[in-house]
Structure 1
Amino acid sequence: MHELKYSGYTVASISESCGYQSVLSGVPLGTIQKIFSGETESPRYDTLQALEQLFSEKSTVCEEASYQADRNGSYTLDDYYALPDEQRVELIDGYFYDMSAPTFHHQSIGGEIYRQIANYILEHKGSCRPFIAPVDVQLDCDNKTMVQPDVGIICDPSKIKKFGIYGAPDFLVEVISPSTKRKDYTLKLSKYMNAGVREYWILDYAQRKLLVYFFESESCPVIYGLDQPVPVGIYHGELTIDFSNILKWIEEDLV
């Protein structure tokens, strides 16, 4: 139970998704909130099993874990910059999280989304700037968090620094993989929402679905299939992302 409660899940991330986890797991939202707040210290075994099933892959995978060390929770940007260049991690609230090198297919998907965003902005002479990982984002403007979202849009030029981005981008996309699924659905959802990100997409290409959180108008996620263009909320739907190429790659077993 300790591992489940303190793996980065928060009551805010559960509540703000309007019971999405509750719908998927079959566990009542009130029960989930009590578990993650600590009010319920000994939930039923079948409840724990349902939640674990939600946040784990059907196959056995090596779960991504923050570094196991006495300093967990106290790492800073000094420690982040002191790491070898070849060691890819994210720093979140003083914890290091390993990041495996992205696969060709992962980068192809992120690149296709980035391409469409960049083309739209260039064609419409927009002032916002798209970016693609790896770009350092000092999300909370402190020395305890540095993330590398897969794709993003930044509209405030004052946030663009030589090292990367200082503050919350306007729009972010995470293309999930087995090793990042738990973090992208829960920990990063809460972090991005609280930092002031306006819109957050979670693309699960293995399940052929996209979760869209547009925090400015709705806290509930909208779930899309990949067989239709998806509107970008910060552009009032004038920019849409076409997933036909990505869906074709999936169907051809190229991702």
Structure 2
Amino acid sequence: MNTLAKWSVDDYHSMIEAGILRDRHVELLRGEIIEMSPETPIHYATAKRSTKYLEELLSGKADVRFNGPITLSDSEPEPDIAIVRLPESLYSDRHPTPQDIFWIVEVAKTSLKKDLELKAAIYANAGIQEYWVLDLSDKQVIVFRYPQDGKYSEESAFVGGKIAPLAFADISVSVDRLLS
């Protein structure tokens, strides 16, 4: 049986710096370099609109990052949206790490299975307290909270109404605005 070589985050950064991954749309997930799915127009538009909406809601409270990498122990995914600590200058020479991250949002249509299973496990394992999946097929927001033993202990689905993120209980996020 062949064994797959696993890459460290440092290996991955070295490959990026050396230009080996130039023109490749990839991310590091659990030590494996994975090709990212091409974004459909609805995926991109939803992620961009949701980013702008969250920026309005969280102005002065958090940095809302769009399609940028985060660095975890054995992964460097590029979530559609990452809500992270201010100031933005913290990330001039590094990507956000779990202690910087309030919550992560992925937009899913063709990537739903990967986002609900693989990415949920990666984010839970990293200790990210909250993870949302905007499920474009079923028009719902799936909210994962409270990571424990590599998985989230709470999962809820919202088809309407408002969600108060754990890190900002005073903020109400409209499910309809995220999915519109």
* TM-score normalised according to structure 1 size: 0.58
| Contact 1:198–1:216 (Cα < 8 Å) also in 2 | yes
In 1, Cα distance between the equivalents of 2:158 and 2:83?
Answer: 20
Q: Match of 1:167?
A: 97
In structure 2, the residue corresponding to 1:219 is in which secondary structure?
A: strand
Distance change (3 Å), C-alpha of 1:70 and 1:163: farther
Cα gap change, 1:215/1:237 in structure 2, threshold over 3 Å: closer, same or farther? farther
Q: For structure 1, which runs of at least 5 residues remain unmatched after alignment?
A: 1-68, 248-255
Is 1:229 matched up with 2:150?
no
Change (3 A) 1:113 1:240: same
Q: Is the 8 A contact 1:136 1:164 kept in 2?
A: no
Offset of residue 158 of structure 1:
8.8
1:96–1:187 Cα change, 3 Å: same
Which structure 2 residues correspond to residues 45-84 of structure 1 after superposition, within 5 A? 71-74=4-7, 76-77=11-12, 78-81=14-17, 82-84=19-21
Q: Match for 2:35: what amino acid?
A: D
2:154 matched to 1:220? yes
Letter in 1 for 2:27: E
Task: Give the letter aligned to residue 232 of structure 1.
Answer: P
CA distance in 2, matches of 1:80, 1:160: 21
Q: Residues 105-254 of structure 1 correspond to what in structure 2 (within 5 A)?
A: 105-122=42-59, 125-126=60-61, 128-133=62-67, 135-140=68-73, 144-155=74-85, 157=87, 160-162=90-92, 165-168=95-98, 169-178=101-110, 180-215=111-146, 219-225=153-159, 227-244=160-177, 246-247=179-180
Answer with 1 or 2: which has the greater Rg.
1
When residues 194 and 159 of structure 1 are mapped into structure 2, their CA distance, relative to the original with a 3 A threshold, is farther
Q: Sequence identity of aligned pairs in percent?
A: 18
**Cα distance in 1 between the residues matched to 2:165 and 2:130:** 8
Q: 1:245 and 1:236 mapped to 2: Cα distance?
A: 18
Query: Which amino acid counterpart does residue 104 of structure 2 have in structure 1?
Result: L
Q: How many residues align?
A: 170
Where do 5+ consecutive residues of structure 2 fail to align? none
Letter in 2 for 1:111: K
Question: What is the SS of the residue equivalent to 2:58?
Answer: helix
Q: What is the CA deviation profile of residues 37-69 of structure 1, one whole-angstrom value per residue up to 9, with x for unaligned ones? A: xxxxxxxxxxxxxxxxxxxxxxxxxxxxxxxx9
TM-score w.r.t. the length of structure 2 is 0.80
Distance 1:139 1:159 in 2: 19
Which has more strand, going by share of residues?
2
CA–CA distance in structure 2, aligned partners of residues 97 and 155 of structure 1: 27
Contact 2:57 2:171 in 1 (8 A): no
Q: Which has the higher helix share?
A: 1
Tell me by how many angstroms 1:189 deviates: 0.9
Q: Residue type of the partner of 1:79?
A: M
Preserved CA contact (<8 Å) 2:139 2:179: no
Task: Measure, in 2, the Cα distance between the counterparts of 1:237 and 1:70.
Answer: 49
Let me know the Cα RMSD of the aligned residues.
Answer: 2.8
What CA distance in whole angstroms lies between the structure 1 residues aligned with 2:166 and 2:133?
A: 14
Cα deviation, 1:187-228, whole Å, max 9, x if unaligned, reads 211111121212100111111122101217982201111x32
